[in-house]
Chain A
Amino acid sequence: MSRGTIRAYVLGDAQADRVVPPTGITAQLTFFVSAAMAFLAVFALALSLASGRLADRWSDELARSATLRLSAPADQKAEQTAAALRILTQTPGVARARALSAEEQAALLAPWFGADLPLEDLPVPQLVEIIEGDSGYDVAGLRLRLSAELPGAVLDDHTRWRRPLVEAANSLRRLGLIAVLLIGGATAAMITLAANAALAANAQVIEVLRLVGARDSYIAQAFVRRFTLRALSGAALGMAAGMGAVALLPEASDAGGFLTGLGFQGATWLVPLLVPVLGAVVAFAATFVAARRRLGELR
């Protein structure tokens, strides 16, 4: 299809519009279905984007936050630290392990004890930062080995409990996307039905048009344009209502946890703007295919 044809389909001409009688109820149904579907699509998108954000944040935190705390008498500290690092580098799934320097540890404690804390004089445990590899490591196995060789070592794995939550958030994101796809498919099906009904109701009109020398594209255009415009305006209305409803949801807050922050953030507010465009594209394709098939049955 050339660009000229597409322009003709979208802009159409008043004459071509008039040759097909008003399609009444089917056109109104198309408008209503598009509006309702766009409303739902906006919510599905909001859900998907919000759970996606959550999954990303949580898994980011997960990726690098294991810490090994080593309490040992001052004279054995260096030795035990070296032993811990040896064990960690031998553990499959640990990408890197690094003992924090005295300055780094002081910096971590500074917020609580002030900057000039004499760390040397206190039995502050040595911290070892563990960076996990992609495959992850066997936490239970590591704990077992540490307890056998370095009884003073504590593996602090505080974000690990979030892993199932990340998975949950990820599947919520997938569900949201699947819902958007299903909404698109259902819209296409409904508009195909509506277009077919309109085409069947106008079988006589189409036949007369063919007989007086109208091309298929001319006839199809009259129907395609009508349904595409209905779907576009319906979906725009549904989208506006959906965005309004999402905007009214409570702000993200720590107290609300997951349930707040279900809206769009920043640039993602632009994503729902795609809904009417996609609705129009779906309507265009559905009506185009339906019209071509109908016309193919005529000589």
Chain B
Amino acid sequence: MPLPRKESIATPADSTACKTAQGIETPPHVGQKSRVVLGAGVIELDNVGYSYGGGDLLSDISVQLAPGSFHFLTGPSGSGKTTLMKLCYGALLPTSGQVRAFDADMASLDRDQMALLRRRIGVVHQDCRFLDHLPLADNVALPLTVSGRDRGAESENLAELLAWVGLGSRTDALPPELSGGERQRAALARAVIMSPDVVLADEPTGNVDWEMSQRLLQLLVELNRMGKTVLIASHDLTLIRAAKSHVQARVLRISNRRLQLAGADL
């Protein structure tokens, strides 16, 4: 695994604390070693509601992503998975309630603080947007570039990472020349290149075959083993079931505008 230095908190994955609107309480994690985060979760949603202007799309959502936890987010198409992800990385602000990341209220961050925060949260967007005029390698390295990190120093990491997602031979291709699956792999590589504390992946396996989706999942599981907090939005229940044999994951489901903890039916 070429990835990120093992610098951060390695909290046991089972220390997840999750509370839903339905009042399902899971034990808050105990014996947390690191004081990297002051609150209970790296990302915390407190009674969050969201509306795009019409009726409420999400309401009364409370969840904490504990450091080192692994969550799946599922729900029917249009139920608000992507919206919830956007709330988690500050692309949207909640219409009610509060979203905190690393103990900071998202709504209170200024624009520069938001930029710095995003460097700590790796995001695989559902629509995988790239800079179409830059070759793949530059796109994957973009978070390094914009944060002023020396790319030369990271070039070995970059090459290894690209090889790992199976794009080692496509580094000079422009994004429009890539297949859907290749774009998704590139997006995952871009999301993790900064060695973020949290990885949010919105349908990261939507366009790839089973074997590749297993490989991408494996990458996310390895990141999680290094202590990264992982949240994957997916409606692919087979993938979720397969993942549960590798990692202790919790499955959150959006149903009826609210978030519930999925039970044994998964």
Measuring CB to CB, which residues of chain A are less than 8 angstroms from any residue of chain B? 15-16, 18-19, 21-22, 204-205, 207-218, 295, 299
Contacts and interface: CB of A to CB of B under 8 A. Distances in A.
The majority secondary structure among interface residues of chain A is helix
Given A19-B131, A19-B145, A299-B114, A213 B91 contact: no
Nearest to B193: A212
B111 A205 contact: no
Contact of B143 (A205, A212, A299): A212
Question: How big is the B interface, by class?
Answer: 20 to 34
B24 interface: no
B70 interface: no
A2 to B, nearest CB: 14
A13 to B, nearest CB: 8
B125 to A, nearest CB: 7
Contacts of A209: 131, 142, 146
B242 interface: no
A213 B109 CA distance: 14
Given A19-B134, A19-B142, A216 B112 contact: yes
B115 A205 contact: no
B90 A19 contact: no
A211 B131 CA distance: 12
A205 B115 CA distance: 15
15 contacts: A18-B134, A19-B131, A21-B132, A209-B131, A210-B118, A211-B123, A213-B115, A213-B116, A213-B117, A213-B119, A213-B147, A213-B194, A214-B115, A215-B112, A299-B91
B91 A204 contact: no
A299 B92 contact: yes
B6 interface: no
Contact of A212 (B93, B111, B146): B146
A295 B112 CA distance: 12
Given A212-B143, A213-B117, A213-B118, 5 more contacts: A15-B145, A19-B134, A213-B115, A216-B112, A299-B93
A218 B92 CA distance: 22
Interface string B80-100: 000000000011110000000
A233 to B, nearest CB: 23
B190 A212 contact: yes
B72 interface: no
Which 6 pairs show the lowest CB-CB distances between chains A and B? A214-B146, A213-B119, A213-B118, A21-B133, A212-B143, A215-B115
Contact of A208 (B93, B131, B138, B147): B131
A213 B193 CA distance: 12
B50 interface: no
Nearest to A217: B112
A104 B169 CA distance: 99
A19 to B, nearest CB: 6
A216 B111 contact: yes
Contacts of B138: 18
B130 A208 contact: yes
B134 A212 contact: no
B241 interface: no
Nearest to B86: A299
A211 B118 contact: yes
B129 interface: yes
Q: Which of B116, B129, B190 has the most C-beta atoms of chain A within 10 angstroms of its own C-beta?
A: B129
Contacts of B119: 213
Given A18-B134, A19-B134, A213 B129 contact: no
Contact of B129 (A204, A214, A215): A204
Contacts of B146: 19, 209, 212-215, 218
Contacts of B90: 299
A278 to B, nearest CB: 30
A212 B114 contact: no
Contacts of B133: 21-22
Contacts of A22: 133
Contacts of A204: 129
Contacts of A213: 115-119, 143, 146-147, 194
Nearest to B196: A213
B147 to A, nearest CB: 6
Contacts of B114: 299
A142 to B, nearest CB: 73
Contacts of B111: 215-216, 295
B142 A212 contact: yes
A216 B112 CA distance: 7
B47 to A, nearest CB: 21
Interface in B47-96: 90-93
Among B117, B133, B146: residue with most chain A CB under 10 A: B146
A210 B131 contact: no
B214 to A, nearest CB: 27
